[in-house]
Amino acid sequence: MAGWLRQHRGLIPYLFLLPGVLWLLVFFVLPMLAMASVATQEGTLGTGFRQTFNVGVFPEVLDRYAPHFLRSLEYALVVTLLTIGIGFPMAYTIAFRGGRYKNVLLLLVIMPFFTSFVIRTISWKFILADQGFVLGTLKDAGIVDEGFRILATPAAVISGITYNFLPFFVLPMYVALERIDYRLVEAATDLYASRLQAFLRVTLPLSIPGLFAGSLLTFIPAAGDYINAELLGGTRDTQMIGNVVQTLYIVNRDYPHAAAVSLILMVALLVGVVAYRRVLRGQELTV
Amino acid sequence: MPQPDVRLDRVTKRFGDVVAVDDLSLVVEHGEFFSMLGPSGCGKTTTLRMIGGFEETSEGTIYLGDADVTDLPPFRRDVNTVFQNYALFPHLTIYENVAFGLRRRKIPDGEIRHQVATMLALVELPGYERRRPHQLSGGQQQRIALARALINHPRVLLLDEPLGALDLKLRKQMQIELKRIQTEVGITFIYVTHDQEEAMTMSDRIAVMRHGRIEQLGPPEDLYERPSTDFVAGFLGVSNLIEGEVAGRDDRFAAIRLPDGTVLRAPSASVNGAPRVRVGVRPEKLRVLALTDEASSAANGLNTLDGVILDASYIGVSTQYLVEIASGQRLVVYAQNIETSGAAEAHPDGQRVRLTWRPEHTFVIGAAPMTPSDEQPEGEIHA
């Protein structure tokens, strides 16, 4: 074996890749094929599913669940813009002004991960409840109307998703900003750029890789989220595509439609990512 | 007399409790190549960064020409900087790097194209417009950093150890290049370095800095031939220092008596009135003669010290001797190999010799002895 490897040194990198490739084959490619296969079957749980290559299922679910698809993309887009708005200044401050508190601040950013995602969302439900201690206090004080509510509104769902995925944006953004040599900013101001111009001409373009990674890590899970929509929304008007898949699969046991919706979401996200990448292509993504 | 380009008036910079620059006053004349030389932590880079506007002063005033720029941000100061590791913008082409300053000042495109081409020609990298910084060698990046700063025709160009990252051969080449460019564009250069040879090669004047203060300021040959403190004597090359006391002086020379009774002469001008002094002489000013009758007759009018050769090392251009004199002190001698060839003709170990040198080549230091905590110069010592 060792002798054989010595003669075929070029194969070593592929050997290193082998476990990962096998893993993806078993846990990604096969399920994908299975899902595509399920999507084109017909039948019910009672009578059994038969493979009929029913490709008509795709336009069917696309038409039926168009509002949910659109709502998911809309929520995910708003969430991503919000995380950029909140997370970029955070990452910037930690990277450039954090000083010796950098690690403490980063720890605070990932601190929420020490508690389960669902538990955290449920505690928000508790905090924001119509008669919970925030709104209850405000109502008692007469600051907001008795009928005012936060839960079960799009704002609640969007805030919840933003809160949950903020660290996924802040961490890659921080890494990208932290790598920027501060002397480049000094050089820009030395060359007659104001602080704003130095930011726009130097810091921002050099942080594009982090912006790209961070916004994708937020947008993609946000588009597929159903926990926040379920716990903080819970009405028909806040249902996202994730809730549709969950209902179809777990409640209705309608596996073909659930699989078809999932596939469409995946393809849509893939196309979106490629397009997004092209938009940022003009920038130096490799810096 | 033209007005000075840069004037620092009692500038102090504190970082917390640490005083980085201590009550420093300085004038840099127009068109001058001015160097700040010293070990790391001496305050030279902080001083440069205060002139550039990257650090605020704790006290004192900075003038560019007659304008007080103490509180102006970098982009409102008529100075440009060549940074230590060049700080070229990695996401921009060489063209856009060099054009950066002109673009910010809204110079028309046609004018920018012309000026960038001129600048790239000046630094001898024409045709590099489309490349990216990472495609260039260290030396080339250094030239682009220079072009990017010079294209703005600042009143003063600040250079922060710009050659520090280059290898020795390239560094020597760039020293000559920098001096040529400075002469060509006629802009005042303020140059920070810890390399004494680099400072000596290019500068019109050098400020040797230590502990946030200027230890001595003057043309290179003044600092080398007539250092006024132990630190300067030690930082600019090797020097032999011998303790003694002033025994008398006339118009030209002062007599300094060593503890063993030997009397050495030094220029009167170098004696500042302190009775206890140290007499210094550079290793290359000493002549080594075998102790014979010929030697004693040749010593007329010269300073002489007798000693024993402890060690001789032949290093090509010169032979280095370590000589122990009567007091037990060891002196370093660099003897040029003008008439000798090979180690065989050097004075052998253990030989009794007489060291002679001209009184004019003697300098006198009256200040307190050097503290052992001082850093030694980082550059190598050349024979």
Encode burial over A33-42: b for 16+ CB neighbours within 10 A, e otherwise.
Answer: eebeebbbbe
Query: Cα–Cα distance between A248 and A255 in angstroms, integer?
Result: 7
CA distance A193 to chain B (A): 6
- Assess whether B219 and B197 both reside in one domain: yes
Q: Per-residue confidence at A199, pLDDT binned at 50, 70, 90? A: very high
In a domain, A5, yes or no: no
User: What residues in A contact B84, CB-CB < 8 Å?
Assistant: 183
Per-chain mean pLDDT for chain A: 91
Q: What is the pLDDT, as a whole number, of residue B377?
A: 45
The angle at the Cα of A26, spanning A25 to A31, to the nearest 5 degrees, equals 95
Counting residues of chain A whose pLDDT is more than 90, the rounded percentage is 74
pLDDT at B381: 38
Q: In this structure, are B134 and B65 located in the same domain?
A: yes
**Range of B219's domain?**
6-225
What CATH number does the domain containing A123 carry? 1.10.3720.10
Cβ distance A205 to B104 less than 8 Å, yes or no, reads no
B112 plus B23 within the same structural domain: yes
Contact B105 A192 (CB under 8 A): yes
CA distance B69 to chain A (A): 14
How far apart CA A206 and CA A201 sit, in angstroms, is: 9
Minimum CA–CA partner of B74 in chain A: A190
Name chain A contacts of B89, Cβ cutoff 8 Å: 184, 187-188, 202
A76 neighbors A223 (Cβ within 8 angstroms): yes
CATH of the domain at B335: 2.40.50.140
> Taking a C-beta distance cutoff of 8 angstroms, is the pair B77, A215 a contact?
no
- Please check whether residue B257 is in contact with residue B276, taking contact to mean a CB–CB distance below 8 angstroms: no
pLDDT confidence of A47, banded at 50, 70, 90?
Answer: confident
Strand partners, B67: B64
Other C-beta atoms lying within 10 Å of the C-beta of residue B200: 19
* Residues B18 and B81 placed together within one structural domain of the fold: yes
**CATH code for the domain of B206:** 3.40.50.300
A65: in domain: yes
Query: Is any Cβ of chain B less than 8 angstroms from the Cβ of A197?
Result: yes
Say if A264 falls within a structural domain.
Answer: yes
Do B264 and B308 have their domain in common?
A: yes
What is the count of residue pairs from A and B with beta carbons less than 8 Å apart? 65
Report the C-alpha gap between B272 and B275 in whole angstroms. 9
Looking at the structure, tell me whether residues B17 and B43 fall in a common domain.
Answer: yes
**Is A158 inside any structural domain?**
yes
Residue whose tokens read 């001496």:
B42
User: Which of B87, B89, B104 is facing A192, going by the closest CB pair?
Assistant: B104
Does B54 contact A197 at a Cβ distance shorter than 8 Å? Answer: no
> Do B114 and B193 share a structural domain?
yes
Q: With respect to residue A213, please indicate whether it lies within any of the assigned structural domains.
A: yes
* Chain-centre distance for alpha carbon A36: 23
Write down the pLDDT at residue B269: 83
| Cβ within 8 Å, pair A192-B90 | no
* Within a domain: A269: yes
Taking the CA atoms of B182, B185, B186 and B187 in sequence, report the sign of the dihedral they define: negative
Residue A36 lies in a domain: no
Helix (H) or strand (E) holding B44: helix B44-52
Domain identity same for B213 and B323:
no
> Could you read off the pLDDT of B125-149 as tens digits, one per residue?
999 999 999 999 999 999 999 999 9
Q: From the centroid of its chain, how far is CA A151?
A: 22
Confidence label for A189 from pLDDT (cuts 50, 70 and 90): very high
B55 closest CA partner among B102, B29, B20: B20
Judging by DSSP bridges, how do beta strands A41-44 and B18-28 pair with one another?
unpaired
- Do the beta carbons of residue B163 and residue B174 sit within 8 Å? yes
Q: Does A235 touch chain B (CB under 8 A)?
A: no
**Residue B65 CB coordination number (10 Å):** 15
- In a domain, residue B372? The reply is no
Q: Is A112 touching B (CB cutoff 8 A)?
A: no
Phi, psi dihedrals of residue A51, rounded to the nearest 5°: -75, 115
Residues of B in contact with A205 (CB under 8 A): 91
Alpha helices, DSSP H, located in chain A = 2-7, 12-24, 30-39, 57-64, 66-97, 102-110, 117-127, 133-140, 154-178, 182-190, 195-198, 204-206, 208-224, 227-228, 241-246, 255-280
Residue B230 lies in a domain: no
Sheet arrangement for strand B59-64: B18-28, B6-15, B59-64, B67-68
Using the Cβ of A280 and the Cβ atoms of chain B, whether some distance falls under 8 Å is answered with: no
Give percent of chain A with pLDDT exceeding 70. 97
Q: Quote the number of domains for chain B.
A: 2
Binary contact (B91, A283; C-beta < 8 A): yes
Contacts of B305 (CB under 8 A, 6+ apart): B262, B264, B325, B326, B331, B354, B355
Locate tokens 């008439």: which residue? B339
Quick: pLDDT tens for B66-114.
999 999 999 999 999 999 989 999 999 999 999 999 999 999 999 999 9
A79 contacts chain B (CB < 8 A):
no
The larger pLDDT score, comparing residue A109 to residue B366, is at A109
A224: containing domain: 57-280
Angle A279-A281-A283 from CA coordinates, rounded to 5°: 105
- The CB-based long-range contact list for A244-248 (8 Å cut-off, 24+ gap) reads A244/A65, A244/A68
pLDDT at A287: 35
Domain membership flag for residue A39: no
- Residues A192, B101: C-beta atoms closer than 8 Å: yes
Q: Which residues contact B336 (CB under 8 A, 6 or more apart)?
A: B284, B317, B318
The beta-carbon neighbor of A192 closest among B75, B85, B87 is B75
What residues in chain B have their Cβ under 8 A from chain A's Cβ atoms?
52-54, 73-75, 79-81, 83-85, 87-91, 100-101, 104-105, 148-149, 152
Provide the ipTM: 0.81
**Taking the CB of residue B233, how many other CB atoms lie within 10 A of it?**
24
Instruction: Check whether residue B120 and residue B207 sit in a common domain.
Output: yes
Q: Which pair of tokens denotes residue B61?
A: 């005033």
Do B37 and B171 share a domain, yes or no? yes
pLDDT at A43 over 90: no
Print the SS3 string covering B328-343. Answer: CCEEEEEEECCCCCCH
Inter-chain touch B83–A206, beta carbons under 8 Å: no
Structure token digits, residue A165? 């995925």
User: Do A265 and A73 form a contact (C-beta atoms < 8 A)?
Assistant: no
Q: Any long-range contacts for A15-21 (C-beta under 8 Å, 24+ apart)?
A: none
- What confidence tier does A282 reach under pLDDT thresholds 50, 70, 90? low
List of long-range contacts for B127-133, beta carbons under 8 Å, 24+ apart: B128/B94, B129/B93, B129/B94, B129/B95, B130/B93, B130/B94, B130/B95, B131/B93, B131/B94, B132/B90, B132/B92, B132/B93, B132/B94, B133/B86, B133/B88, B133/B89, B133/B90, B133/B92, B133/B94, B133/B97
Cα(A271)–Cα(A275) distance, rounded to whole angstroms?
Answer: 6
C-beta neighbour count of A47 within 10 angstroms: 8
What six digits make up the tokens of B237? Answer: 């090359």
Residue B231 lies in a domain: no
In chain A, how many domains are there? 1
The strand pair at B205-210 and B213-218 is best described as: antiparallel
Match 């996924």 to its residue by tokens: A168
Going by C-alpha positions, the residue among B250, B74, B253 that lies closest to residue A191 is: B74
- Mark which of B225, B247, B275 sits at the end of a domain: B225
Of B225, B249, B271, the position where a domain reaches its end is B225
Residue numbers of chain B with a pLDDT score lower than 50: 367-383
Phi, psi at A278, each rounded to 5°: -65, -35
| Both tokens assigned to A38 | 């399920």
Report d(CA A80, CA A165) in Å as an integer: 9
